[in-house]
Structure 1
Amino acid sequence: MLFPHPLLDALRAAPGTSAFEHAGRTVSRGELLDLIRRLAGALADAGLGPGRALAVRTALTPEAFAAHMAAHALGCRVVGIPSGHTPAQLAHVLGMDVDAVLVDPSTAAPELMVKPALSLGPCAEAVDLLAHPDDGRPLTVQGRPDDVAALMFTSGSTGRPKGCAITYRALSEHWAWQPRTWGPFAAAFARDFERYLLFGTLASMVVMEFVAPCLLGGGTAVIPEEDGRPPFPYAIERHRITGSIITVPRLFQMLRLLEERPADVGSLRALMVSGSPISAKRLAAAAERLGPVVYQGYGQTEAGNVAMLTPEHIAAGRGLDSVGRPHPGVEISVRDEDGWELPPGLTGEIHVRSPYVMAGYWGEEEETRDTLRDGWLNTRDLGHLDDSGFLHLAGRTRDVIMVNAMVVYAGPIERVLASHPDVAEAYVTGAPDEDTGEAVHAFVVPPPGRIPDPSALSALVRAELGEDSGPKTITTVAGVPVSTGGKPDKRALLARLL
C-alpha cells in the first residue's frame, strides 16, 4: 500500500480519537484528516503535484505535520529544512530543484522567500494555505513509487548539506509506516507510544520514523508547551508520557535533573536513546534509574533505524557494549577494505541493506556511487558482529563528530580555521561530552608572530558552518605530533587536553 495510504486509513478508522495535543488543544484524527485534505487542495491549487518539490521550514505543530502528509498525498518531494543552516547552506538546499517554500509566522525569513512562498498562517509575501477556501474535493494519493518522497539532510564532507533521497517505494516498505506487517517489535512500540512526547523537527528522519507507530497505533502525539523547563523529565510528568526518543546529552541532563529534583516518570514505557555513542556503564545506570523502558538505537539518515538494543537485552546484561541486533528487515554485512565479508568478531566497515535505504544523495552522483553499491549502503562506520548477532561499533572511517545527534565533519571546520590569517594549520577532532554527546575540539598552529583569538575563530566557524560545528575548545600548539605512519596524530593532541 503506497505511502501515505496507511496513515490516512488509520485516521479514517478512528476519527473521534486524539491524534495531537498541542498548546492546550486536542486535534482528533478526523480533524487531522480533514486538515490534510484541505491543505492538499490548497497545495494543488498552488501548482504542486507529483514530482514537484516543496521545501518546508516550520515550527512543530499539528498543522505542519498535516502539511507534510498533504504534500506526500499529492506525490510531492518534501524537502525538510532543519534550523541552523547558514545562509550559504540554505541557498544550497533551496537550489535543489525546489518549486515552492512553506513557512509559518514563526519561521518566515527573507532568505526563504527566494521561491514562491506559502505559509501556515498569515505571513507577508506568502500565500496562507489555512485561509484557502475549502471546495470539498476528495483526498487522493497521487504518489509514484519511484519518485522521491523526501529529502532528509545530513552534513556533507564539504560543509554543504547532503540530501538523502527517500522514495515513495521506500516509505511504503518502511517498518514504521506499515501496520499490517508489524511484527512483535513494532507492535510493542505502537502500544508503548500511547502518549508520545514529540519534539524537535519534522525535517528529521528519526522524528518522522517514530511518530508513525504512535499515530498508526492509535496513540496521541503530545507536543509540549515552552515553559522554560527541559521537556525531560518535566513534560513526562505533566503529560503522563508513555514513550519518546531522546538524544544521549538529553538523557544525561534528565538523569542529573532527577537527582536534583525528583519527578514522577513512572508513566514511561519506552524511551529510545540514539544519536551518539553511550557507554555500557551509563546505559545500565539509565535503565536502573528509569526501569525496563530504555532502548538504544543505531541508525543513519541514509538508512533509518539499523540496529536496536532492547530493555530485555539490557535487563539480561546482554550486548550492553553493543548497539543491539539488526532491526527486522535490515541486513548487516561487515567487510574488509577489499569488500570481502568478515566473520563474526572481526572489525571492518559496516554495510547495510534494507527496503528503506535511501536511493542516493540528491545531485551527488559520485558520492552516491561511493556510498551505494549493489543495493548495499556503506555506512562508513567501523564495527563487528558477535556470535549472537549483536552489532558493536568501533569508530568511523570518516572524520566526523556527532554533536547534538547531528553529523559534523572535521574537514570543513579545519578549512575554515585555516582560512584565518592567524592560523597556519588546523586540526579538529571529537571527544565524548555529556552536554552534546560529542564535542568539537580544535588545535591550531599560528604563523610566526601571530596570536590566535579563540573566540574570534569559534565565531568564524559558527558563521560559516553553523552552531553545532563550533569548537568547544580551541588550543594553540607549536606543532602537531605525527603517528608512526607520518600522519597528524589527533589522538595525541586530544590527550594533551583531556
Structure 2
Amino acid sequence: MVFPQPLLDALRAAPATPAFEHAGRTVSRGELLELIGRLAGGMRAAGLGPGRAIAVRTSVTPEAFAAHIAAHALGCRVVGIRPGYPPGQLAHVLGMGADAVLVDPANATPELLAASKTALSLGPGATDLLAQPAGDQELTVTARPGDVAALTFTSGSTGRPKGCAITYAALSAHWAWQPRAWSPVAAAFARGFERYLLFGTLASMVVMEFLAPCLLGGGTAVIPEDDGRPLFPYAIERYGITGSIITVPRLTQMLDLLDKEPADVGSLRALMVSGSPIGPSRLAAAAGRLGPVVYQGYGATEAGNVAMLTPEHIAAGVLDSVGRPHPMVELSVRDEEGAELPAGRTGEIHVRSPYVMEGYWGEEEETRDTLRDGWLRTRDLGHVDEAGFLYLSGRSRDVIMVNAMVVYAGPIERVLAAHPDVAEAYVAGAPDEGTGEAVHAFVVPERGRRPDPDALTALVRAELGADSAPRTITTVPGVPVAPSGKPDKRALLDLPRGAL
C-alpha cells in the first residue's frame, strides 16, 4: 500500500474523532481528510503531480500537515524548508528544482515567493489553496513507489544542507506509517501518544515520523499555544499530554523545573528522548522522576529511527544503550576496512532497512561514500552486544550536536579562518547542560592582530546559522599537536576557555 494511503484510510475509518487541537479549535479526522482533498485539488490545478516538486515553509498547523499529505497523495517531491536558514543556505535549498513554493502568511517572505513561478499559500498573499472548492474525500493516491517523496535536510560537510532523498517505496515500508506491521513495542508506543504534543517544524523527519503513530493509532495531535513558559513541563500539565518527543536539553530543563516548582505530569505515558545521547545517570533520574514512560531513540535523517530503548529496558537496568533495532532494521558494525566485527567489538555502525534514503540529492560523490551495497554508513561508532542492544561510543565524523541538530566543525573553522584577523581556527564540542553540546572555537591570530570574539561569532551566525555560533572563542598562540601529528582538540578543550 503506497504512502500516504494508510493514513487516508485511517482518517476515513473514524471521521468523527479529533485529529488535531490548535488555537482553541478541534479538527476532526473527517475535516482533515476533506482539507487534504481540497488542497490536493488546488495543487493539481497548479500543475503539480507525480514527479513534480513543491518547496514548503509553514508554521505547524493542521492545514500545513494537510498540505504535506496532499502533495504526497499527488506523488510530489516535498522539499521541507526548516526555519532559520541564512540566505545562502536558503538559496541552496530552494535551488533544488522546486516547481512550486507553498507558504503560509507567517512565512511569505519575498525570497520564498520569488523562488518559483508558482507561489501557493495557505491563506492570503498568493494563490490561496484554502479558498479552493471542497475536496474529494475519495482522493486517489497517484504516488509512484520509485519517485522521491521528500527531501529532508541535514547539514553537510561543506556547510550546505544536504537533501536526503526518501522515496515513496521507503515511506510505504516505514515502521511509523504502516500500523499493520507495528511490532508490539511500536503499538504500545503509539497507544502512549493518545494526546501528542506537536511542536517544531514539519520539515523535520523526526517530527513527522513520531506524529504518524499518534494519528494512525487514533490519537490527537495537540499544537500548543505560547504562554511564555517552557513547553516541558507546563504544556504537559495544561493540555493533559500523554506523549511527545523531547531533546536532552529540554529534558534536563524539565527535570530542573520540576524540582523547583512541581507541575502535574502524571498524564505522561510515552516520552521519547531523541536528538543526542543521554547519559545513564540522567536517564535514570528521568525514569525515577517521571515513571516508566521514558524511551530513548537513535536514528538519523538518512535512516529514520533505527533503535529504541523502552521503559522495560530501563527498568531492567539497561541505561547506557540506545536500545534494540526495529524489526525491519539490520545493524552491522565494521572496522576501517569495512570488515564486519563480532558482538562486543567497536567500529562504525552501518544500517540497512527498507526506509533508508535513496541518496543525497545532487550529491553523487557523497552518496557513493555513504551508501555502499545497500548499507548506510552512519559515521557513528559503537558496538552491539550478544542481546542485540546497540551502544554508542563516539563519532567518526567531526560533528557537534547543538540543540539536537548536527553542526559540523569544518565549515565553522573555514568561516573563522577567512577573517583577516585570524591565521588558524579550530573548533570542538563540549558537553553543555543547556544545549546538549556547545561549540567552542580556538583561533590563532594574525601577527599584530587582536580578533574580536563578538565579531567572529556574528560572522559564523550570519554564514551558518545560530546553532553553529561558538559559545566561546579563545585566542591561543598556537595549537597543540597530538602524537598523530594532527591538531589535538582535546588538549584545546582542557584550556581555560573564553580568555583573550
TM-score range, shorter chain: over 0.9
Q: 1:424 to 1:328 in 2, by over 3 A?
A: same
Q: Give distance in 2, aligned partners of 1:263 and 1:438.
A: 27
Q: What is the CA-CA distance between 1:133 and the residue it aligns to?
A: 3.0
1:364 aligns with 2:366: no
Q: What is the CA-CA distance between 1:131 and the residue it aligns to?
A: 1.2
1:458 aligns with 2:457: yes
Q: Give distance in 2, aligned partners of 1:137 and 1:314.
A: 44
Contact kept in structure 1, 2:6 and 2:177, CA below 8 Å: yes
Question: How do 1:389-468 and structure 2 match up within 5 A?
Answer: 389-468=388-467
Q: What is the CA-CA distance between 1:183 and the residue it aligns to?
A: 1.6
Indicate the residue corresponding to 1:259 in structure 2.
259
1:153 aligns with 2:146: no
User: What is the identity percentage for the equivalent residue pairs of Structure 1 and Structure 2?
Assistant: 81
Q: 1:312 to 1:497 in 2, by over 3 A?
A: farther
Indicate the residue corresponding to 1:83 in structure 2.
83
Q: 1:266 to 1:136 in 2, by over 3 A?
A: closer
Partner amino acid, structure 1, of 2:472: T
- TM, length-normalised to structure 1: 0.98
| Alpha-carbon displacement from aligned partner over 1:71-104 (angstroms, at most 9, x marks no partner) | 0000000000001111111111111111111100
1:134 aligns with 2:134: yes
Indicate the residue corresponding to 2:54 in structure 1.
54
Indicate the residue corresponding to 1:495 in structure 2.
494
Q: What is the CA-CA distance between 1:156 and the residue it aligns to?
A: 0.5
Q: Give distance in 2, aligned partners of 1:118 and 1:198.
A: 24
Q: Give distance in 2, aligned partners of 1:40 and 1:490.
A: 52
Indicate the residue corresponding to 2:95 in structure 1.
95
Partner amino acid, structure 2, of 1:273: V
Q: Give distance in 1, aligned partners of 2:401 and 2:135.
A: 47
Partner amino acid, structure 1, of 2:426: Y
Q: What is the CA-CA distance between 1:182 and the residue it aligns to?
A: 1.3
Partner amino acid, structure 2, of 1:327: H
Partner amino acid, structure 2, of 1:63: E
| Alpha-carbon displacement from aligned partner over 1:224-254 (angstroms, at most 9, x marks no partner) | 0111111110110011110000000110111
| Alpha-carbon displacement from aligned partner over 1:194-234 (angstroms, at most 9, x marks no partner) | 00001101000011000001000100000001111111101
Deviates more, 1:142-151 or 1:180-189: 180-189
Q: Give distance in 2, aligned partners of 1:60 and 1:168.
A: 23
1:195 aligns with 2:195: yes
Question: How do 1:4-403 and structure 2 match up within 5 A?
Answer: 4-113=4-113, 114-115=115-116, 116-123=118-125, 126-134=126-134, 136=136, 138-318=138-318, 320-403=319-402
Contact kept in structure 2, 1:41 and 1:137, CA below 8 Å: no
Tell me the number of residue pairs that the alignment of Structure 1 and Structure 2 aligns. 495
For residue 333 of structure 2, give the secondary structure of its aligned residue in structure 1: strand
Indicate the residue corresponding to 1:475 in structure 2.
474
For residue 237 of structure 2, give the secondary structure of its aligned residue in structure 1: helix
Q: Give distance in 1, aligned partners of 2:30 and 2:175.
A: 24
Q: Give distance in 1, aligned partners of 2:480 and 2:38.
A: 62
Q: Give distance in 2, aligned partners of 1:429 and 1:136.
A: 54
Q: What is the CA-CA distance between 1:136 and the residue it aligns to?
A: 4.9
- TM, length-normalised to structure 2: 0.98
Contact kept in structure 1, 2:147 and 2:168, CA below 8 Å: yes
CA-based RMSD: 1.0
Q: Give distance in 2, aligned partners of 1:267 and 1:460.
A: 44
Partner amino acid, structure 2, of 1:118: L
Partner amino acid, structure 2, of 1:36: I
Q: What is the CA-CA distance between 1:135 and the residue it aligns to?
A: 6.7
Contact kept in structure 1, 2:196 and 2:241, CA below 8 Å: yes
| Alpha-carbon displacement from aligned partner over 1:345-394 (angstroms, at most 9, x marks no partner) | 11111000001000000000110000001110000111111122111111
For residue 229 of structure 1, give the secondary structure of its aligned residue in structure 2: coil
Q: What is the CA-CA distance between 1:137 and the residue it aligns to?
A: 8.0
Partner amino acid, structure 1, of 2:191: R
**Structure 1 unaligned residues grouped into runs of 5+:** none
Q: Give distance in 1, aligned partners of 2:496 and 2:10.
A: 54
Deviates more, 1:159-168 or 1:390-399: 390-399
